[in-house]
Every structure is written in C-alpha cells, then in structure tokens.
Amino acid sequence: MIQKSEEKKKTTIASQASVTNRETRQMKWSLERNQMAATSSSSFSIGSIPHGSKTCSLGQSNNHGIKFNSRNHLNNFTGLKAVTSINPNSNSKSSIFGNNITVRPATITKTRPNTIKVTASFKVAILGAAGGIGQPLSLLVKMSPLVSDLHLYDIANVKGVAADLSHCNTPSKVRDFTGATELPNCLQDIDIVVIPAGVPRKPGMTRDDLFNINASIVKTLVEAVADNCPNAFIHVISNPVNSTVPIAAEILKQKGVYNPKKLFGVTTLDVVRANTFVSQKKNLKLIDVDVPVIGGHAGITILPLLSKTKPRVSFSDEEVAELTGRIQNGGTEVVEAKAGAGSATLSMAYAAARFLESCLRALDGDGDVYECAFVESEVTELPFFASRVKIGKDGVEAVIGGDLEGLTEFEKKGLEALKGELQGSIEKGVAFANK
C-alpha cells in the first residue's frame, strides 16, 4: 500500500515541469529513502492504540514510519526533502520515513510557487537534554512538525547538543540554556516540559536507590516550572517515577499551581516493552499489539494486563508469568547489559517521544488520544496510579478505570501485591517535598 502510494507520489512529483535536475535527484533520493523505510521492518512509528475507540492514534494503524500525526491536516512537511519537491496543491502526504507526517494547515504558508514553509506552533522544553535520554529525545522532538520551539536545558554540555541539532532542516527553532540562571528563560511560554534530568541506575541498584539525588533535582526543576510556565503539561521521566511524580505534585501545590490533569509520570516504556515482548512471544504483527500496563514504574508495581491485550490472544499460565516478569524487569535487563554505563536511553527516548507526540496531538485538537501514564487517580485507593488515560487539550480528560475490571486471578493478585510498595513510594515522595 505504502509502496504504491509512494510510486504514485513519485509519478506526480516527477511530472512537475518546473523541477530542475538537481531537485529531481534530491527528490529521488528522498523517495527512495522513503520507499526503503516503508518496506523495512526496522522502520518504526511512535504511537498507541486507543482501546475502545474507532481510530488508531499514530503509528499503529500503519507502522512504517514515524508519524507525527495531527488529525486536522493534510499538508506536507519538508523534513528531509528538498523544499522544491513539495507541491503545495497536492493532497498527498509525505514524511521523513515514508508516510504521513501531517501538519496544521494554519501553520503553513506558501513562500513561492511550489514551496511551502512550515511553522509549527508548540513549544517544548527538555530539562536534562544533554543526557543519555535527553539527546536522542531531543532529536526525535526536533523531527516533529508540531513543534515550533525546542528549548534544551542542562547543567552542562547542552550548548553543543543544541548547535548540532539546530542544523537539521526541520521547523523547530532550537535554543540552549545552561544552569539555574538560564532556567527561567528556558521555560517561558512552554507548552510541554519533559524532565529526564537525574542519575540513572547501575547494576545492583533499585530505582528507589536514586531517590536521594533525583528527588532534589526534580523538586528544583518543578519549582522553576511552577514559577515560569505553570500551565504547561509536565512529563516526569526521572526515577523513581513512583516518588518523583508525587514530589512534583506537592511542589506545585505549595506554589498554588497544581493541576493534576497536567502532571504525568512517563510509563510509556513499559507499554512499549510489553508490546514488543508479546508480539515476539506470540508471533504477532507488532503494529497490531497493544498491552495496557498499570500500577507504577518499578519492579512489581509494573503490572501488564496481558488479558487485555489487543488483539485478543490467549496465554498459558507459564507465558503470563514469563512475560510479566520480563516486562517488570525490562529496565534491569538493560541496566545489566550496559554493565555500569547507565540504563535505558534509546528505547526511553523513543517512548518519551511517543508520549510527547500524543500530548502534542491532544493539544492540537485530536479528540482520540489515549496513553498509559502515572497520574493522580481514583481508580484504586492509591492517590497516584498508572493506567490508560484519555488526553485532551487541557490534559487528562478521563482516567480509564474499566481496564481494572474483569482481571484474571493472576492480575488481581499482582494488583493487590503492588499496592503496598506503591503506596510507600508515593508517601516517601510526599514526605520529602513537605519536609
């Protein structure tokens, strides 16, 4: 399908008389690259399947490419293409890796015949942008046509990262900010703040072992967010997420700007892992698989609901035990493989970019955005809990409690077993923020 549509696009574009030989070569390069990506199993999309909703959000309906998707719109993003290869009158969609990057119509202006200028509109700040997660995440965000401004903050080494990224000919303007004095400027008018700042695990450590260092880092950064962009969505990646999110909530409360709908602990990597491991185990097409993962983001608090896997698939008891264990220990698997050089960075950047992109689409008016996230919640007796949430322009529109109904005995036990640890981690965060 993709190949066919790319062929069609190729024909259409190649017939445009105004295109020079050099431009034709550039187009061919771009199209060949797109075709390669479209047929390659290594190409990917960032997205999730909204259970119980009619349409798939980005990527999963068509897995051959990063699809920074914006529902409203049908225009072309220049991305890796020569600007002159774009026909502004065409309805065909194009993308970096072979399919639909769509952008908001209001943000596109013709600059001269057969060219368009993309000016996307959302402002994103990444705090901890020079780190193992921060760098690849920044690159993925730089590729989004929905982002107009990308602010990179770190306590060190961020200038080079920003200079490097700024040479990519994608719409967003990249700026770097170093150190506490530059943090307020970094956060001005920001729509979404992503926080991967903090130390990662080494073999033998738990996520909670990071608490002493990362709790203070998150506290300081969220104070600045509260002071400078209190209406922004906040995505907390720094571990232990089960504690750092409650810390962030308390700080925002102290500053009088807490909006529980806009504070998210990023647990997307658990879903990404669950989808990958299940599709491998059951030999399913990866694009079709979606497994909700609930609870929290550490050890047994990570509870994949395999019985709710889409498409419906049956697992033996042994498979359930094995898959659940692997998903719960996915982080440790990477920490051990890296043998002291850190924890998951690339898969986390991918997961964070997926979650960010979902929120950008929600901000852009897509009414069909669902993701799992660790949020303030009433689906259990715990004050914070990861589950699927519906995300809209103002943040969490609904926490989907229905996933907790009809659980298997194994899942019910897992849910009861995680509550003590999760409650303890939440209380630890709250106590830290209020001491």
Ligand X SMILES: O=C(O)C[C@H](O)C(=O)O
Site residues (vs ligand NAD, CB under 6 A): 127-128, 130-134, 153-156, 196-201, 210, 214, 217, 220-221, 237-239, 241, 266, 269, 297, 342-345, 348
Using the minimum distance from each CB to ligand NAD, give the nearer residue, 201 or 388.
Answer: 201
Is position 433 an interface residue for ligand X (rule: CB under 6 A)?
no
Is position 207 an interface residue for ligand X (rule: CB under 6 A)?
yes
Using the minimum distance from each CB to ligand X, give the nearer residue, 79 or 200.
Answer: 200
Amino acid identity for residue 312 in this structure: R
Asked if 92 and 62 touch (Cβ cutoff 8 Å), the reply is no
User: How far, in Å, CA of 415 to CA of 423, rounded?
Assistant: 12
Using the minimum distance from each CB to ligand NAD, give the nearer residue, 345 or 387.
Answer: 345
Min CB(157)–ligand NAD separation in Å: 7
Using the minimum distance from each CB to ligand X, give the nearer residue, 274 or 335.
Answer: 335
Closest residue to ligand X in the complex (CB): 331
86 contact choice in ligand X, ligand NAD, none (CB below 5 to 8 Å, kind-dependent): none
Closest residue to ligand NAD in the complex (CB): 131
Three-state secondary structure call for residue 312: coil
Cβ burial 263-290 (10 Å sphere, 16+ → b, else e): bbbbbbbbbbbbbbbbbeeeeeeebbbb
Residue 80: CB partners within 8 Å, gap ≥ 6? 30, 33, 96, 169
196 contact choice in ligand X, ligand NAD, none (CB below 5 to 8 Å, kind-dependent): ligand NAD
Give me 357's structure tokens.
């992109």
**Chain centroid offset of residue 221 CA:** 20
Using the minimum distance from each CB to ligand NAD, give the nearer residue, 200 or 429.
Answer: 200
DSSP element (H, E) containing 186: helix 183-187
- 73 in catalytic set: no
User: How far, in Å, CA of 110 to CA of 87, rounded?
Assistant: 10
User: How far, in Å, CA of 360 to CA of 369, rounded?
Assistant: 10
Which residues, 308 to 347, sit near ligand X by CB under 6 A?
A: 330-331, 334-335, 343-344
198 contact choice in ligand NAD, ligand X, none (CB below 5 to 8 Å, kind-dependent): ligand NAD
Instruction: Catalog residues that contact ligand X under the rule CB under 6 A.
Output: 200-201, 207, 239, 269, 330-331, 334-335, 343-344
Catalytic site residues?
297
